[in-house]
Amino acid sequence: MDPSDHTGLTLSVESLQEFQVQEIGLDGQETYAKPLSMSENLAKLAHKIDFSEDNDDKKGDETRPSTSVKEKEEKDSKEGVGTSFQAQQKQPWEAVKTKLRDALTEVSVLYDVVNIARMNREPPYQYMVLEKVSGETTPTTNEIAVKLLEKKKSLEGAAKILHAGAVSMKHTSSSDKKALVEQKNFHDELLRLRQCWRLKRVGNSILGDLSFRTSGSRFWHSGTFEVTKTTEEEFEAAERRGIQPCSLKVTVPSDLEGTSYIRVLIQEGEAEIASAYLMHSRRSQISLDAHWQERLEAAQNVLFCKELFAQLAREAVQLKASIPHIVVGNQIISSIIPGVQLVIRLCHDANMSSSHDVTPNFLQAAPVREKNANQNIDLEQSLHQLLRELHHSNLNGPTPRPVTTSFTFNNKRRRLAGPLALDRREISELQQNECVLEKILKQSRHIVLRDRTAKVLDDMAAAIQDPLIMVHWSVLQQPLQATVKVFISSPGYEHFARTSMQLSIGYEDIKAILKDGRTVSLSYQEKDLKNLLTCQLSEHRVNAVFDLAKSLRMQIIHYNFFVGVGPAPKLGNSSAVVVATPNGKRIIAIRSDPVEGPRVLIQDENNMRDKTDVVTDSKWEVLPSGFKEVDMSKIPGRNFVHKMDLLMGNLAHE
């Protein structure tokens, strides 16, 4: 029919005669029968089927409602119309048969209706719907047809309900009323969920809230999760895998799934000084099959870590530092003190393995964690605490004054800045708020300082036996402050000389308060503390000898910590004490150099000088000569003070 056909041939196609010719007039005019409507056509088709033939098997066939309805329809039209020539010919008792059949049908339908009415007390409520069938069939036939259809439908409905009932009964008896229990469990679980988490109903779904918004968080993530009922299949699947099934299912947003933690590392070059994890140790892995409580907690932890990291990253970008903080991906690197870095890393493990895979992973992770002996709980705690504090401060501002004002200062002092006439410096101090990252930086700086101090003290205490260094750490420590007392004493002579020193370790420097009240500020460099201790040791020796000499009733001729004469020491000051024996015959000089160690010299009194003619007086015979050094290694004794004790004792009784 395509006019643009490439063959160039024009074919005209005419449809066949669709309508039947009713009559042909004398003039040859054809009158067509009106085309049959759908229902008429159906009825016509139905005539061609012998209803009585397959009547029996159709009655019990309820699984195919669509076909049966059709057939019923066919049936009634066939019987009602009664104009079929086939029926008229074949069944002379058709009318009687129809009547009888109708009666039977009515009785059975009535029976079903009663049944339905009884069954109908529980949902789903199903009602029979009477529908008027529109059609061009005659009203009488239509009525019968409708009735039959109606009955057919009610039959179907009844059958359905019966079937559902039977199935449910079967199920109940077979699985120990599990379904009922399940339904009840769901509500129990929901109640329990509601006790721990915030839930709300939106439409037909139940939504929960994981976010920290109620506690003051301003993080963008909504942290919504959905609560649903476990389907039967899932229930059975869980049972099959040997997991305790739960009738309640929570769906957590995909980006909150898995586990995450924040790792804080303090690195010196490649070596790790301290590290902290922000996570639950027992939730190093969370599986999809875990109980909802665990899953929700894990998800909330993920949310918390995300928020914390976002906050830290924002601060790191904003903060101005001499060495700028670097934020790369999930990592913030900032320099605490030269050579030492603070690394904050957000680790997220989105892998939601099923419970069977958990064990190997966990075992794998365990040694890594145990290896970290220098794990620092302080940092971990602080991070947690600091974000909570931030939340708290977001939420709990001070009461505005007057209470009707909408705008308020977050600080009473700030509010009173005007009336108190605070100057610019004081106001700018008020406005300086420390952010979380700054606090963490301070803390980590303190940790580094503390660790270094401890290391130096331990090393020196181990290396130096004479005199002894004793270190007492204060048990109570603050995040930014630690104190340590250092005692230097010689065993056996503790009551003579005891040099004490207090080190207070902050985050910027170490303050050392010495025995004589001097305060020395030490930098982060280990060398400083080492030098200070070396000088203190040297002073201690002289001090101990001084005390000893006093107790031995020696005469103190000279006692000085800062000797200005003699070779200059490489470090600090030489200290010296010069004592004379009680009889005045001998003079002992001790000079202690911080680096070289102590030197002991004795003045020899036995100067046997020849008598001359000029000097005749005998008193000149005992003129002291020069000092001679004592080889201390040859003198017995446990330590320097002991040796000196023996030496002085000997000389005193000569």
Partner 1 sequence: MGVTCVTQWPVAEGKSMQQTVDFLTKKAEFMGATKTGTFAVDCDTFHASAGNPKFINVLHNSEYPKTTFSITDSNSTLVSDTGFDAILQKLKGIYSTKMSSRIESKGKRYQLADFIVKVGIVSIGSSNRGILVEVEYTPCVILQDCWPLLTEFMQGFLGNGFVPKPPSNLVNKVDVYQPLDTINQYLEHFNQFRKAQVPTR
Are the beta carbons of 333 and 346 closer than 8 angstroms?
A: no
Rounded CA separation 650/648 (Å): 5
Nearest residue (CB) to partner 1, 70 versus 415: 415
| φ, ψ of residue 439 in degrees (nearest 5) | -65, -40
Nearest residue (CB) to partner 1, 388 versus 414: 414
Nearest residue (CB) to partner 1, 125 versus 407: 407
Kindly give the pairing relationship between strand 198-202 and strand 30-32.
unpaired
Q: Taking the complex as a whole, how short is the minimal distance between the CB of residue 423 and partner 1, in angstroms?
A: 5
Instruction: Tell me which DSSP letter residue 633 carries.
Output: G
Instruction: Tell me which DSSP letter residue 614 carries.
Output: S
Task: Give me the residues paired with residue 588 across strands.
Answer: 579, 602
Q: Taking the complex as a whole, how short is the minimal distance between the CB of residue 413 and partner 1, in angstroms?
A: 11
Instruction: Tell me which DSSP letter residue 582 carries.
Output: T
Nearest residue (CB) to partner 1, 237 versus 422: 422
Nearest residue (CB) to partner 1, 93 versus 407: 407
Measuring CA to CA, how many Å separate 503 from each of 262, 469, 473? Answer: 32, 14, 10
Rounded CA separation 276/273 (Å): 11
| φ, ψ of residue 104 in degrees (nearest 5) | -60, -45
Site for partner 1 in 415-444 (CB under 8 A): 417-424, 426-427
Give the three-class secondary structure for 470. Answer: strand
Rule CB under 8 A: say whether 405 interacts with partner 1.
Answer: no
Are the beta carbons of 292 and 206 closer than 8 angstroms?
A: no
Rounded CA separation 138/40 (Å): 11
Nearest residue (CB) to partner 1, 99 versus 412: 412
- Long-range own/partner contacts, residues 557-561 (CB < 8 A, 24 or more apart): 557/587, 558/589
Binding piece for partner 1, criterion CB under 8 A, among 19-27, 68-76, 411-419, 470-478: 411-419
Q: Taking the complex as a whole, how short is the minimal distance between the CB of residue 508 and partner 1, in angstroms?
A: 22
Side-chain-facing half-sphere of 100: CA atoms under 13 Å:
5
Q: Taking the complex as a whole, how short is the minimal distance between the CB of residue 318 and partner 1, in angstroms?
A: 24
Q: Taking the complex as a whole, how short is the minimal distance between the CB of residue 402 and partner 1, in angstroms?
A: 12
* Residue 560 one-letter amino acid: N
Interacting residues of 653 by C-beta distance below 8 A, sequence separation 6+: none
* Residue 454 one-letter amino acid: A
* Residue 277 one-letter amino acid: Y
Rounded CA separation 380/372 (Å): 14
Site for partner 1 in 511-530 (CB under 8 A): none
Nearest residue (CB) to partner 1, 244 versus 406: 406
Q: Taking the complex as a whole, how short is the minimal distance between the CB of residue 521 and partner 1, in angstroms?
A: 21
Interacting residues of 292 by C-beta distance below 8 A, sequence separation 6+: 189, 193, 246, 248, 249, 250
Binding piece for partner 1, criterion CB under 8 A, among 215-223, 315-323, 412-420, 526-534: 412-420
Rounded CA separation 160/515 (Å): 98
Are the beta carbons of 515 and 525 closer than 8 angstroms?
A: no
Q: Taking the complex as a whole, how short is the minimal distance between the CB of residue 411 and partner 1, in angstroms?
A: 12
Task: Residue 591: name the closest of 614, 560, 619, 617 by CA.
Answer: 560
Nearest residue (CB) to partner 1, 122 versus 426: 426
Rounded CA separation 152/108 (Å): 11
Q: Taking the complex as a whole, how short is the minimal distance between the CB of residue 432 and partner 1, in angstroms?
A: 16
Are the beta carbons of 341 and 334 closer than 8 angstroms?
A: yes
Q: Taking the complex as a whole, how short is the minimal distance between the CB of residue 511 and partner 1, in angstroms?
A: 22
Nearest residue (CB) to partner 1, 41 versus 428: 428
Residue listed under structure tokens 């007086």: 617
Q: Taking the complex as a whole, how short is the minimal distance between the CB of residue 400 and partner 1, in angstroms?
A: 14
Nearest residue (CB) to partner 1, 363 versus 421: 421
Q: Taking the complex as a whole, how short is the minimal distance between the CB of residue 394 and partner 1, in angstroms?
A: 24
Nearest residue (CB) to partner 1, 203 versus 418: 418
Binding piece for partner 1, criterion CB under 8 A, among 109-117, 218-226, 414-422, 531-539: 414-422
Could you give the residue ranges of the DSSP H alpha helices within 48-93?
55-59, 65-81, 85-90
Nearest residue (CB) to partner 1, 54 versus 426: 426
Q: Taking the complex as a whole, how short is the minimal distance between the CB of residue 401 and partner 1, in angstroms?
A: 11
Task: Give me the residues paired with residue 485 across strands.
Answer: 472, 502
Helix-then-strand count for the chain, H and E: 16, 21
Angle, CA of 22, 24 and 29, to the nearest 5°: 115
Q: Taking the complex as a whole, how short is the minimal distance between the CB of residue 422 and partner 1, in angstroms?
A: 7
Would you say the C-alpha torsion 290, 292, 293, 297 has a positive or negative sign?
positive
Nearest residue (CB) to partner 1, 392 versus 412: 412
Q: Taking the complex as a whole, how short is the minimal distance between the CB of residue 427 and partner 1, in angstroms?
A: 6
Are the beta carbons of 292 and 356 closer than 8 angstroms?
A: no
What are the strands of the beta sheet with 259-268, ordered from one edge?
A: 271-278, 259-268, 340-349, 331-337, 326-328
Q: Taking the complex as a whole, how short is the minimal distance between the CB of residue 321 and partner 1, in angstroms?
A: 23
Nearest residue (CB) to partner 1, 395 versus 422: 422
Site for partner 1 in 256-295 (CB under 8 A): none
Binding piece for partner 1, criterion CB under 8 A, among 413-421, 432-440, 543-551, 566-574: 413-421
Rg (CA), the chain: 52
Instruction: Tell me which DSSP letter residue 636 carries.
Output: -
Nearest residue (CB) to partner 1, 174 versus 405: 405
- What is the total count of residues that contact partner 1 (CB under 8 A)? 10
Nearest residue (CB) to partner 1, 409 versus 561: 409
Q: Taking the complex as a whole, how short is the minimal distance between the CB of residue 410 and partner 1, in angstroms?
A: 15
What are the residues binding partner 1 (CB under 8 A)? 417-424, 426-427
